[in-house]
Amino acid sequence: MNRKQNFKWNNLSLVVCYYPEHWDRNLIGWQIDNELNCEIDEYYSESDNLAFRKFLIEKYKTLDALNEAWGTVFWNQNYNDWNQVFVPRTTINDMVNPHLKLDFIRFISESAIRYCRMQSDILRLYVKEGDFITTNGMFSNLDNHKMQDTCLDVYTYDSYPNFAYCMKENPRQNGTLNDRKWSRNLMEVRSICPHFGIMEQQSGANGWNTLSDAPAPKPGQMMLWTMQSIMHGADYVSFFRWRTVTKGTEMYWHGILDYDNILDTQLDIWHGRIADSSEMEIFVASQLKHTPMDSAYIRENTQAEELKKYKVLIYPHAEILTEKTVGVLEDYVHQGGCLIIGARTGQKDRNGQCVMKQMLGILAPLTQSEVKEFTLIGPDDDVFMN
């Protein structure tokens, strides 16, 4: 039902029917799909038009009944053919018939539940006695109570209280109590299923490569949030994730183990957020201090000899490093140059994938340093420099 769940409709039966022969006796439950209606909870394809009409025909039986329910006599909106009915479409000032929109939301919910039930019905043909079936939520345009009652044995929730501290938020002017707001979410979950679980509990800093960037949890916060879930009735808590992925859209979504596979609370965040501001501040400082400054680029054919004319090189945030670039920098320093580097240096390889090493990555032998902890300074953080 969303971008995480596409392309499974035709293959699901085959996968489920094949797997029972390979079940492990330690397998105790099944999670259906992932986060139904997450990110996207409205659909406007031609197949949705066809399914929406079928939904309405089953509900109203006749166009007269639909016209009456939708009040189509107002503004001359009467329908005289089912093919005239579409999911809500863009209009001037978004003036969509409110009764149509209400049925559309109900249609979305029924579609998601039908998709969930299709999977649970197949699973129940094969699961062994005692195995539970669940899925994780809770998302909008979806009757989660009905989905629990008709499809699942137990309901699970994804708890990410650190969303309250994303860089776009203002925690000091927040009327929803920041991370305490998740207590309200957990109350809602408990109303859906009193014996619920947490399928994804916050385990570090969150963020995709395009959104949701946030500082790392403070010391003790992960334990606090975990206890928040348990005290609200969670029978089961699973952390997302164990190891931070080094590639793809979610490589900034941190796990219990960081890129270097060491237990810590490090944070990686978009290069642009720090690089742009740092480069500008370096320029401003040089101008205010009347200090001459050049821009220099280390290219494929750059040699250390070309850099010798500079007493100081500032490489603000050398996130992507290659062995060749490191070699040039090493030669420059060994010849007496002064190299100043910035945060996140050596974090990624040439393909933009995070290396499984502590920062400064392959530059560490030159700097003789390591970065054990790092985070973004959040909107609620005070900065003290000693």
Residue 279, token pair as written in the block: 């480069």
d(CA 88, CA 96): 7
Specify whether 46 is catalytic: no
DSSP state of 140: S
Instruction: Please tell me whether residue 82 adopts helix, strand or coil conformation.
Output: helix
Instruction: Please tell me whether residue 185 adopts helix, strand or coil conformation.
Output: helix
Instruction: Give the closest residue to 160 by CA, choosing from 200, 127, 197, 189.
Output: 200
CB proximity list for 214: less than 8 A, separation 6 or greater = 162, 163, 165, 166, 167, 205, 206, 207, 376, 378
d(CA 380, CA 176): 15
Active-site residue (options: 35, 188, 300, 319): 35
Residue 53, token pair as written in the block: 């009409």
Does residue 184 have a cis peptide bond before it, meaning omega lies within 30 degrees of 0? no
Report H helices in the chain.
12-18, 46-60, 63-70, 98-124, 144-151, 181-192, 221-231, 271-288, 304-307, 323-334, 364-367
d(CA 139, CA 42): 12
Specify whether 110 is catalytic: no
Active-site residue (options: 129, 200, 306, 319): 200
Neighbouring CB atoms inside 10 A of 105's CB total 16
Identity of the residue numbered 213? D
Contact 188, 252 (CB under 8 A): no
Contact 189, 155 (CB under 8 A): yes
**Crossing angle for the helix pair 63-70 and 46-60, nearest 10 degrees?**
100
Question: Which CA distances in Å does 262 have to 238, 266, 314, 356?
Answer: 19, 10, 29, 10
Catalytic residues: 35, 200
